[in-house]
C-alpha cells in the first residue's frame, strides 16, 4: 500500500513539475499593455500608469510612468491602431530589474558585444508569433525590454 502511494505521489509530482514548467509562457504584455490591444484600450491603461510625453507620427507614443522600476513605456501601433510593440525603460537609480524576472534566461539567445548584453526569446503563440528582447550593460540587470509582433 505504502509503495503504491509513494509511486502515485512521485508520478503526480513529476507531472505537476513538468506542467508548471511547460505552462510558464513568456509575457505578451508589459504593465498591462498587450500586443494586439486597441489604441483606445492601451491609452486608457497607460493613463492610469502615467502621462503621455510625446507622440510621433501618431503611430508611436512615449509615456512617463509612475513606477519605481520603469521610467517610460514606448508603444508602437500598426496601421490598424493595434499595439505592435511595447518597450519598457528601466528607471535610472531605481530598483534594478534582472533578466530572469522577465523570462527564463537559459531559454534565451544571448549576444554579448563590447559590454552590451542582448537576450532574445522567440515565442510561437496561438495569437501570433512575437519576440521578447532585453538589453543592458550588465550581465544580470537590464536597461530595457521589449515585446513585438513578428
Rounded-to-integer distance, Cα 86 and Cα 147, Å: 6
pLDDT, one tens digit per residue, over 35-74 is 999 999 999 999 999 999 999 887 999 999 999 999 999 9
Is residue 27's pLDDT more than 80?
A: no
Rounded-to-integer distance, Cα 49 and Cα 77, Å: 18
Is residue 5's pLDDT more than 80?
A: no
Give the pLDDT of residue 25: 64
Give the pLDDT of residue 6: 36
pLDDT band at 150 (very low <50, low <70, confident <90, very high): confident
CA–CA–CA angle 27, 29, 32 (5° rounding) = 130
43 neighbors 67 (Cβ within 8 angstroms): no
Amino acid at each position: 500500500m505504502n509503495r503504491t502511494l509513494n509511486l502515485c505521489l512521485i508520478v503526480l509530482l513529476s507531472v505537476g513539475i513538468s506542467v508548471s514548467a511547460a505552462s510558464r509562457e513568456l509575457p505578451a504584455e508589459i504593465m498591462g499593455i498587450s500586443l494586439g490591444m486597441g489604441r483606445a484600450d492601451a491609452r486608457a491603461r497607460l493613463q492610469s500608469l502615467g502621462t503621455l510625453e510625446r507622440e510621433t507620427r501618431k503611430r508611436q507614443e512615449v509615456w512617463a510612468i509612475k513606477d519605481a522600476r520603469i521610467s517610460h513605456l514606448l508603444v508602437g501601433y500598426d496601421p490598424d491602431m493595434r499595439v505592435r510593440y511595447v518597450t519598457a525603460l528601466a528607471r535610472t537609480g531605481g530598483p534594478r530589474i534582472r533578466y530572469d524576472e522577465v523570462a527564463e534566461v537559459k531559454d534565451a539567445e544571448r549576444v554579448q558585444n563590447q559590454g552590451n548584453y542582448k537576450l532574445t526569446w522567440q515565442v510561437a503563440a496561438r495569437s501570433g508569433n512575437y519576440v521578447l528582447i532585453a538589453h543592458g550593460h550588465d550581465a544580470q540587470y537590464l536597461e530595457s525590454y521589449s515585446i513585438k509582433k513578428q
